[in-house]
């Protein structure tokens, strides 16, 4: 899958706009989280390529550029060209669009502007969205249509399924899982085309955050149950609703009009665990049999599985971050408490999140400053959080106007430690910006009013007299400062092309 693979660069933040647009911060942080580095085989030449490809926009037309700034597909298309995997030269073009009927045609081009996969009526990327509504595409597969039926192929054109399905869509927010429809029944296949769950249900969706957690299924009587990844019945289809709230053998269901917690038993049956004392169950605690988060009179609390209230319903939000530790909200401020209602972090923050992989907390105040806390809830860093990258194991902060890097142990690192392949490193002297190499030798003189760090493709954005331009990896000016980008949230260049105004579209232009 290409989780946010629209975003395969590391564009940097325009601080002026970031501080002005609070909502966009969450989008930007997510944008940065999903960066991945891949080398893939060029399917036409058989060579290994580290190039990336991006949509370009010029004169109201769409094309494609390579990560060195060269135009690959001239801007000639009315609709944005879809690039499912930025490392693979597969470009899906839409044309002959009838906006009244919704009918359209597609064709797929390679880097040589040659049409490929021509033996199908239509070829499309498989789109998906994460929990924050960010769009991404399945990287390594495409949906193909022939004579009104659908199948999937890989990036070489190999058919991974027969062209036999009535529908193929991504399972919302889930990797390696496709929902398929055949003869008015639904099932699940993976990206290799293997049938995971046969097409035998009136509807189906994952119950968890991956395709191994099991599935909520609906039968022909509009009743819901649960099956596991091997199609074994966990809960019979006896319920009016099953929620995506479960832990171990506990599930939250609605039977008739009663929401309750049940425990699985033999042969798909269940026993009631909790049936009263709340208006709504919103979570099951991680430790087996420890209890649930409930809602009553629009306030949140905790009760055990016997119905005894452990924590009165008094909070406006409550979520378990890790065992026994909860992110809570009072009024419009967030803090952290334990299951004994002891305050572990004061209610002074506009948001708090917990990163399970890094085992750290991020608490943000009304000025958009972030406090980074360890698993003991000790504040280790304070500043503006620019990036938390668990794959590469670093945190990037802006502290006192300077970019700072830290590992996940909160030890300060140099930019060259994190990015050893970079050739230019941002430096500041007498209020002006320039660039040095790893040895500290000045490569670009201190003549710029602002500048960004080098991106993955060797380019840096520089600002002079309120205009932005770009420099290549050798320090040579590629684009003289020309563009006023005050309204842009992300400042990033590939050659002479700068990142587009709409960060959700991942394109470059020269406007």
Q: What is the signed CA dihedral for 446, 451, 407, 361, rounded to 10 degrees?
A: 140
Closest CA to 406 of 446, 358, 453: 358
Say how far apart CA 371 and CA 397 lie, in whole Å. 10
- Please report whether residue 285 resides in a domain: no
Residues 6+ apart with CB under 8 A from 88: 40, 42, 43, 53, 139, 155
At residue 420, the 3 state secondary structure works out as coil
Say how far apart CA 380 and CA 416 lie, in whole Å. 22
Per-residue tokens: 53: 């490809």
Say how far apart CA 51 and CA 40 lie, in whole Å. 9
Q: What length is written for the chain?
A: 511
- Please report whether residue 50 resides in a domain: no
- Residue-level pLDDT at 401: 80
Closest CA to 374 of 363, 390, 389, 386: 363
- Please report whether residue 503 resides in a domain: yes
Say how far apart CA 491 and CA 469 lie, in whole Å. 10
How far, in Å, are 47, 95, 182 from residue 99 at the CA level?
A: 40, 11, 28
- Please report whether residue 11 resides in a domain: no
* b/e map 308-330, b = 16+ CB within 10 Å: eeebebebeebbbbeeebbbbbe
- Residue-level pLDDT at 157: 97
- Residue-level pLDDT at 209: 87
- Give the domain extent around 459: 420-511
Q: What is the signed CA dihedral for 68, 124, 112, 114, rounded to 10 degrees?
A: -170
- Please report whether residue 428 resides in a domain: yes
Residue 146: how many other CB atoms lie within 10 Å: 12
Per-residue tokens: 445: 């003189």
Closest CA to 386 of 7, 3, 12, 24: 12
- Please report whether residue 59 resides in a domain: no
Measured between alpha carbons, how far apart are the two ends of the chain, in Å? 32
Tokens 């710029």: give the residue.
Answer: 448
Which pairs with CB-CB distance under 8 Å and at least 24 residues apart come from 321-326? 321/354, 321/361, 322/286, 322/354, 322/356, 322/359, 322/375, 323/285, 323/286, 323/287, 323/290, 324/287, 325/377, 326/302
- Residue-level pLDDT at 281: 98
Domain count, the chain: 1
Say how far apart CA 109 and CA 87 lie, in whole Å. 14
CB 362 within 8 A of CB 385: yes
Tokens 């572990």: give the residue.
Answer: 344
- Please report whether residue 45 resides in a domain: no
CB 247 within 8 A of CB 285: yes
The maximal CA–CA distance of the chain, rounded, in angstroms, is 75
Q: For the chain, which residues score pLDDT lower than 50?
A: 1-13, 15-49
CA dihedral over 32, 37, 43, 48, signed as positive or negative: positive
| Neighbouring-strand partners of residue 329 | 317, 334
Closest CA to 185 of 153, 223, 143, 217: 217
Describe the strand order of the beta sheet including 299-303 as a list of residue ranges.
Answer: 280-284, 292-296, 299-303, 309-315
CB 188 within 8 A of CB 180: yes
The secondary structure element, H or E, covering residue 464 is strand 460-464
- Please report whether residue 462 resides in a domain: yes
Say how far apart CA 188 and CA 193 lie, in whole Å. 10
């Amino acid at each position: 899958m290409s989780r946010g693979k629209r975003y395969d660069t590391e564009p940097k933040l325009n601080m002026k706009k970031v501080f002005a647009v609070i909502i966009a911060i969450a989008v930007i942080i997510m944008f940065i989280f999903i960066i991945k580095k891949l080398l893939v085989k060029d399917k036409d030449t058989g060579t290994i390529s580290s190039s990336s490809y991006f949509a370009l926009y010029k004169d109201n037309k769409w094309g494609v550029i390579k990560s060195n700034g060269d135009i690959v597909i001239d801007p000639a298309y009315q609709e944005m060209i879809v690039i499912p995997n930025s490392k693979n030269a597969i470009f899906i073009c839409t044309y002959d669009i009838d906006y009244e009927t919704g009918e359209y045609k597609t064709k797929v081009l390679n880097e040589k502007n040659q049409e490929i996969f021509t033996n199908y009526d239509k070829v499309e990327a498989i789109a998906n969205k994460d929990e924050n509504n960010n769009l991404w595409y399945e990287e390594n597969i495409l949906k193909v249509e022939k004579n009104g039926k659908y199948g999937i192929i890989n990036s070489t054109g190999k058919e991974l399924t027969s062209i036999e399905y009535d529908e193929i869509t991504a399972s919302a927010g889930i990797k390696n899982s496709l929902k398929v429809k055949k003869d008015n029944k639904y099932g699940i296949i993976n990206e290799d085309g293997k049938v995971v769950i046969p097409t035998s249900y009136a509807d189906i969706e994952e119950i968890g955050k991956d395709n191994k957690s099991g599935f909520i299924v609906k039968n022909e009587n509009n009743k819901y149950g649960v099956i596991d990844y091997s199609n074994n019945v966990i809960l019979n289809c006896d319920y009016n609703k099953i929620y995506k709230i479960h832990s171990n053998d506990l599930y939250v269901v609605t039977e008739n009009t009663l929401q309750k917690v049940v425990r699985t038993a033999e042969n798909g049956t269940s026993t009631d665990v909790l049936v009263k004392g709340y208006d709504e169950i919103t979570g099951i605690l991680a430790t087996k049999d420890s209890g649930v988060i409930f809602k009553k009179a629009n306030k949140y609390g905790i009760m055990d599985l016997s119905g005894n209230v452990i924590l009165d319903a008094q909070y406006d939000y409550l979520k378990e971050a890790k065992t026994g530790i909860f992110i809570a909200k009072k009024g419009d401020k967030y803090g952290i408490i334990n299951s004994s209602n002891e305050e572990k972090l004061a209610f002074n923050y506009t948001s708090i999140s917990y990163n399970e992989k890094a085992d750290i907390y991020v608490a943000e105040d009304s000025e958009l400053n972030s406090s980074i806390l360890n698993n003991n809830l000790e504040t280790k860093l304070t500043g503006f959080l620019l990036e938390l990258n668990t794959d590469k194991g670093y945190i990037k902060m802006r502290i006192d106007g300077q970019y700072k890097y830290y590992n996940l142990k909160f030890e300060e690192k140099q930019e060259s430690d994190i990015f050893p392949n970079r050739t230019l490193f941002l430096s500041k002297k007498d209020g002006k910006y320039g660039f040095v190499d790893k040895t500290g030798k000045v490569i670009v003189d201190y003549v710029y009013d602002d500048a960004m760090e080098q991106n993955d493709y060797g380019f840096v954005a520089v600002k002079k007299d309120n205009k932005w331009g770009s420099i290549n990896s050798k320090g040579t000016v590629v684009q003289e400062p020309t563009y006023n980008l005050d309204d842009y949230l992300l400042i990033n260049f590939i050659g002479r092309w700068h990142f587009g105004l709409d960060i959700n579209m991942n394109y470059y232009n020269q406007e």
